[in-house]
Amino acid sequence: MLDDRGILSSRSLTDLRGRYHNDDHRRYSYGDNITPDFLERAIQKAKETLNGPKPPPPFIPSFEQLRIARRDRDAEINSRLRGQPLPDFLSPEDDAEVSRHLKKRGVIAKVARLQVTDADLSRLIPGTWLNDEIINFYGQLILERSEAHPKSKAVINGARSEKSTILNVHYFNSFFFEKLAREGYEKARLAKWTKKFDLFSKDVALLPINHGNSHWTAATINFRRRRIESFDSMGVWRQDVFDLLREYVELEHLNKKDRPFDWTDWVDYCPRDTPRQENGYDCGVFTCQFLEALSRGMDSPFNFTQRNMTFLRRRMILEIMRTELLGGT
């Protein structure tokens, strides 16, 4: 039926219009109803609050805490930016510098006990295979960057910091795996290769591997992630690499620590999304870039592809001549 406002109503609905009409149901502030007993309780409660424990002072970070927070924020930003695509070309100034370097003759760059000649540097011209000299020179630059980085060796609360974008790495030159494969740990006297440092204190051990003098790949002993890793720009699963590196780690641990290595949770890792080469001569450049990216904690996906190889070859020439890596910090 319709009520006096013309609204259809139901007999099952309750009319609430007059239920709370009188003043007995109003909400009151304390007003005139405050009693002495109420005031006494309120005063006592205020006294208890004043005499109770004081609230902690507001947190004001120190300059060092602010510096660390900014550093960690920048590291996170850098880690995200590393996934950005690479440019296609060097700047005009850098490209002109590369062209000048390619005209030099003789020994044109040195780092540690390694050197690069003009013949070696010409291997970075597109369409050419890289040799051991270029691979190992580049690996030495990776190693020196790690050793020079202020946080690469940092230990915080008993553990190495995970905030640094540069890992604490060791680089084994291209002859290490060859000796391991041909002669074995004992005969090749590989224990001497690590007599001046503790391999097991590193985040990652980096290795370039030459397969049959026809193809370069990268491998790691990744203590940080508990993996033996293989990165092949041809997409091949390298079981021999996994087996030999596991054998090496076991024998090295027995030699240096006098007990078997704990392989709990370790896996063999060969990601399917590893960038692939589309020709027969860029494997060395891929290998160098795998190792450089791995030294910064990146594993996969990498931020380069076949289309970046000409740019990366030119940049590697610049890095070798300046003896400084430009690909990441």
- The DSSP string of 279-292 is SSS-HHHHHHHHHH
What pLDDT was estimated at residue 1? Answer: 53
Residue-wise DSSP of 105-125: -SEEEEETTEEEEHHHHGGGS
Q: Is 77 left (phi over 0), alpha (psi -120 to 50) or beta?
A: alpha
Q: Is residue 32 part of a domain?
A: no
Q: Which amino acid is at 86?
A: L
Q: Is residue 260 part of a domain?
A: yes
CA angle at 128 for the pair 204 and 304, rounded to the nearest 5°:
45
Contact 223, 232 (CB under 8 A): no
Instruction: State yes or no: is 215 an active-site residue.
Output: yes
User: What is the rounded distance in angstroms from the CA atom of residue 285 to the CA atom of residue 135?
Assistant: 8
The CATH number of the domain holding residue 245 is 3.40.395.10
Backbone angles phi, psi at 52, to 5 degrees: -80, 180
Q: Is residue 12 part of a domain?
A: no
> Catalytic one among 170, 270, 283, 288?
283
Q: Is residue 59 part of a domain?
A: no
Instruction: State yes or no: is 23 an active-site residue.
Output: no
What pLDDT was estimated at residue 163? Answer: 46
Q: Is residue 172 part of a domain?
A: yes
What pLDDT was estimated at residue 260? Answer: 97
Which range marks the domain in which residue 247 is found? 72-322
What pLDDT was estimated at residue 299? Answer: 73
Residue 44 burial (CB count, 10 A) = 10
Q: Is residue 23 part of a domain?
A: no
Q: Is 323 left (phi over 0), alpha (psi -120 to 50) or beta?
A: left
Q: What is the pTM of this model?
A: 0.72
- Pick the closest to residue 139 from 203, 192, 208 (CA basis): 208
What pLDDT was estimated at residue 320? Answer: 97
Count of structural domains within the chain: 1
What pLDDT was estimated at residue 68? Answer: 65
What pLDDT was estimated at residue 33? Answer: 62
Q: What is the pLDDT along the chain (329 residues), one digit of tens a residue?
A: 555 555 555 555 555 555 545 555 555 455 556 677 878 888 888 888 788 887 778 778 787 777 666 655 654 544 454 456 788 889 999 999 999 999 999 999 999 999 999 999 999 999 999 999 999 999 999 999 999 987 544 443 344 444 458 999 999 999 999 999 999 999 999 999 999 999 999 999 999 999 999 999 999 999 999 999 999 999 999 999 999 999 999 999 999 999 999 999 999 999 999 999 999 999 999 999 999 999 998 877 798 999 999 999 999 999 999 999 986 65
Q: Is residue 194 part of a domain?
A: yes
Q: Which helix (H) or strand (E) holds 204?
A: strand 204-211
> Catalytic one among 203, 232, 282, 299?
232
User: Chain-centre distance of CA 308, in angstroms?
Assistant: 21
- Pick the closest to residue 274 from 287, 259, 260 (CA basis): 287
Cis geometry, peptide bond prior to residue 208 (ω within 30 degrees of 0): no
Contact 205, 172 (CB under 8 A): yes
Buried (b) or exposed (e) across 128-151, using 16+ Cβ within 10 A? ebbbbbbbbbbbbbbbbbbeebeb
Backbone angles phi, psi at 160, to 5 degrees: -65, 145
User: What is the rounded distance in angstroms from the CA atom of residue 258 to the CA atom of residue 244?
Assistant: 20
Q: Is residue 201 part of a domain?
A: yes
Instruction: State yes or no: is 232 an active-site residue.
Output: yes
- Pick the closest to residue 204 from 140, 252, 146, 255 (CA basis): 146
What pLDDT was estimated at residue 51? Answer: 83
> Catalytic one among 149, 170, 215, 270?
215
